Chain A
Amino acid sequence: MEHLFTNLATALTGWMITLGLSPVWADVILLLVKWIIIITIITLNIIILIWLERKVSAFFQERLGPNRLGPFGIFQTIADAIKLLTKEDIVPSAADKLIFKTAPMFFIVVAVMLYTVIPMGQGMEVINLNIGLLFFISMGSLSTIALLMAGWGSDNKWSLMGAVRSVAQMISYEIPLAFSLLGVVMISGSLNLQDIVAAQDNIWFVILQPIAFLTYFIAATAELNRGPFDMPEAEQELTGGAYTEYTGMRWALFFLAEYTNLVAVSALMATVFLGGWQGPWLPSWLWIIIKTYGVILVFFWVKWTFPRIRMDHLMSFSWKVLVPVSLGNILLTGAGIYFCQWMGWC
């Protein structure tokens, strides 16, 4: 079971080479197959995740949640998806048509690109990049442009305000996000995510880097624009923020991309802090799924427990609390590494 998918990939490459393809083209086709599999998994997974979030939120608010379509309402999301697909596609006449239409595509492409470097199991990743962690952070920073495009292209006051808020928030929280991961990089001595997983052979980084874990969790919640930091959407004040003018499938693409980002960030968190695919008895690809779902449930829990925070509090929290704390964590980690070497423990 452990080597199920890696063996399948090797067998597929071997089969393509026997068909007369050169090894380079076999690799290219294998890469395409990996991408198709990832996009399929993302799409199917989101149907489950949306149902799960609705059930979890109902549990927190002492409601039943979706319960009419199928057992426990599991077909509700499918019905919603069909509804969204068949809805009329409205483009506001005052909108900048090109930017309005490109923004959701750009957003989802950037979100899917995050999966390039995440190790889904032992030897299972799209590309084993030696700067994987940095690639993940830099790709994540691109989603601000998509939101800005959506907000500006809609030509709507609420949209623009939501976009400006979300960009200010995401740029501010990117700094503690990157700094909190530096402690892990200092201990493992590598930006390669497979190396970071291998460095957690004995002890998970959540135990060695508890401050970094908390900082990363808070900053990631803000990066994902999820509650209690969901200022950019803020249905009650901004009528939906940057997504106000979007309908049907274009709106669904934004929704899809947000959940895609959520899964990617949770998977990164499981990889960097919770030992990645390592674990006893079960195969490695099952472990990463279990850990990712665990982190996602914590994100749900936080969202449906805390009320929304005011915008100025949000910004000052990032600059006055999270940035100094994450910088202090880097100092502490460096001192710890030197102390450890001085004592001769490592």
Chain B
Amino acid sequence: MFEFSAFSLYDAAFLAIGGVTILGALGVVLFRNIIYSALSLVFTMLGVAAIYFQLNAGFLGAIQILVYAGAISVLIIFAVMLLMNKEARRTNLPTTRTKAWFAGGTITVMMLASIIAAVGFSEWPKTALQGVDNSVGMLAELMLGDYVIAFEAAAILLLVAVIGAIILAKGVENK
């Protein structure tokens, strides 16, 4: 009988989570029906959240579920439903224009090269650092302490975006 160690269990969980994330991401690109693509995006987001949880960054994981999987995906699905005027089965077909293929290919190659370079050239710490117990408190101190101006500026930026969206939707009344 072979012995399982804690390490292999952690690895197996990571492989399963990573598999779901990558399958979801492939689904976003490959499904012909754009609703299916949007729903696969939910699984990708959930997979990323699970990776955060596994890395002991629970706060980030919960926020990832709340904001990306719970809100932004719903927004995307809503937008798709409201804008869709064709048959659902043929809404996400691969493009036939060569220019688009060229642009997409260039971006993919560039991103792949930078990721491979980043993974290959960086020095990884040899010992696993002990995860922080109270990551929420530390995040709060950083956000409302050292980086409070950037944090508030982002909040104002979002407020401006919301006002802009309302003006775009409702129009400006001429007096």
Q: Which residues of A contact B (CB under 8 A)?
A: 22, 24-25, 28, 96, 98-99, 129-131, 134-135, 137-139, 141-142, 144-145, 148-149, 152, 160, 164, 167, 171, 174, 191
Contacts and interface: CB of A to CB of B under 8 A. Distances in A.
B65 A141 contact: yes
Contacts of A164: 78
Contact of A134 (B3, B59, B74, B78): B59
Contact of A25 (B4, B35, B59, B81): B4
Contacts of B23: none
Interface residues of B, number: 27
Interface of B: 3-6, 9, 35-36, 39, 42, 58-59, 62-63, 65-66, 69-71, 73-74, 77-78, 81, 88, 133-134, 136
B65 A144 contact: no
Contacts of A139: 65
A24 B74 contact: no
A262 to B, nearest CB: 20
Contacts of B136: 130-131, 191
A148 B63 contact: no
Contacts of A28: 9
State the majority secondary structure of interface residues on A.
helix
B61 to A, nearest CB: 8
Given A25-B4, A129-B58, A131-B58, A141 B77 contact: no
Contact of B74 (A98, A135, A167): A167
Given A24-B6, A144-B70, A171-B71, A135 B35 contact: no
21 contacts: A22-B6, A25-B4, A25-B9, A130-B133, A131-B58, A134-B62, A134-B66, A137-B62, A137-B66, A138-B63, A141-B69, A141-B71, A142-B65, A144-B70, A145-B39, A145-B70, A145-B74, A148-B77, A160-B81, A167-B78, A174-B70
B49 to A, nearest CB: 8
B78 A138 contact: no
B170 to A, nearest CB: 15
A22 B58 contact: no
Contacts of B59: 131, 134
Q: Which of B62, B63, B81 has the most CB of A within 10 A?
A: B62
Contacts of B6: 22, 24
A137 B61 CA distance: 12
Contact of B62 (A96, A138, A152): A138
Given A22-B4, A24-B9, A144-B70, A135 B77 contact: no
B74 A130 contact: no
A16 to B, nearest CB: 13
Q: Which 4 interchain pairs have the tightest Cβ spacing?
A: A141-B70, A138-B66, A138-B65, A134-B62
